[in-house]
């Protein structure tokens, strides 16, 4: 027990020093991205702000809730998570696996003064916003939570669903061979589709939305994005080639 207390005291001293070093505005300031320091985790890695394709805003409230509490991203996508504290007390957003967050929360209970500062977390003072730039590299279900003692236990947890559709499906060239509106199908003569490791050929695709077929006719040259949706080759975006 003595040993544990000594560790707790040391941890608190370190944390106080860290808090002072960060100053009052501290964590709200953007981190400096350094590709050489990025580490892979089970839930992704620190993202390059220059590659963020989307900003997702999440509000944090003293009711111990995140709004929205569910966010969805695609595998490989780099997003800017902006957490705004609408409450009167400190909140934080920490990304992780359900397991890791649970363990981290236990640790926070043991050492209440502990203040971590890692790329997958933002500590946000009342009325302020914090930011995490993150690339989700693994498909699956993950979480974000406020690990301030009592908050996590009160249910301040949200869910991140990372879909297995790769974010950056490349655009390909094609030429329309047949439009089948009744079946929601489109036959395209297409160039190589790197995402499937497929050479150029003519084949039938499903379309994500039958409306995408409006205005298309045989012989049209197009730029399109193909992805596998529920196992079927599907055109998820299409536009006339110019």
Show the binding pattern over residues 156-175: x = contacts Cu ion (CB under 5 A), - = does not. x-------------------
Pick 66 or 224: Cβ nearer Cu ion: 66
| Helix or strand run (H / E) with residue 8 | helix 2-22
The one among 71, 124, 148, 162 contacting Cu ion by CB under 5 A: 148
Contacts of 123 (CB under 8 A, 6+ apart): 26, 27, 90, 91, 92, 115, 117, 130
Decide if residue 65 touches Cu ion (CB under 5 A): no
Of 69-77, 150-158, 183-191, 211-219: span binding Cu ion (CB under 5 A): 150-158
Decide if residue 27 touches Cu ion (CB under 5 A): no
Pick 64 or 79: Cβ nearer Cu ion: 64
Decide if residue 91 touches Cu ion (CB under 5 A): yes
- Shortest reach from residue 2's CB to Cu ion, in Å: 32
The one among 93, 132, 133, 146 contacting Cu ion by CB under 5 A: 146
The one among 65, 74, 123, 151 contacting Cu ion by CB under 5 A: 151
Answer for the pair 126, 88: CB distance below 8 angstroms, yes or no. yes
Residue by residue, DSSP assigns 11-33 as HHHHHHHHHHHHTTTGGGSPPPP
Answer for the pair 137, 45: CB distance below 8 angstroms, yes or no. yes
Cis preceding-peptide flag for 68 (omega within 30 of 0): yes
Pairing of strands 121-124, 91-96: antiparallel
Residues that bind Cu ion (CB under 5 A): 91, 146, 148, 151, 156
């Amino acid at each position: 027990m003595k040993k544990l207390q000594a560790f707790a005291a040391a941890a608190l001293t370190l944390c106080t020093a860290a808090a002072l070093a960060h100053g009052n505005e501290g964590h709200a300031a953007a981190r400096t991205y350094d590709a050489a320091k990025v580490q892979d985790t089970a839930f992704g890695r620190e993202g390059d702000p220059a590659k963020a394709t989307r900003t997702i805003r999440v509000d944090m409230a003293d009711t111990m809730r995140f709004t929205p509490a569910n966010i969805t991203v695609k595998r490989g996508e780099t997003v800017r998570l902006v957490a705004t504290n609408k409450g009167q007390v400190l909140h934080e957003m920490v990304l992780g696996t359900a397991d890791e967050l649970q363990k981290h929360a236990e640790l926070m209970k043991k050492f209440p003064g502990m203040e971590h500062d890692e790329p997958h977390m933002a500590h946000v003072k009342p009325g302020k916003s914090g930011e995490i730039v993150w690339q989700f590299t693994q498909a699956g279900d993950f979480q974000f939570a406020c690990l301030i003692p009592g908050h996590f236990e009160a249910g301040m947890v949200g869910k991140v669903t990372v879909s297995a559709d790769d974010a950056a499906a490349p655009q390909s060239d094609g030429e329309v061979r047949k439009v089948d509106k009744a079946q929601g199908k489109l036959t395209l003569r297409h160039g190589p589709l790197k995402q499937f490791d497929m050479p150029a050929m003519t084949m039938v695709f499903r379309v994500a939305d039958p409306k995408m077929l409006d205005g298309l006719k045989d012989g049209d040259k197009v730029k399109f994005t193909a992805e596998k949706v529920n196992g079927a080759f599907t055109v998820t975006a299409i536009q006339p080639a110019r």
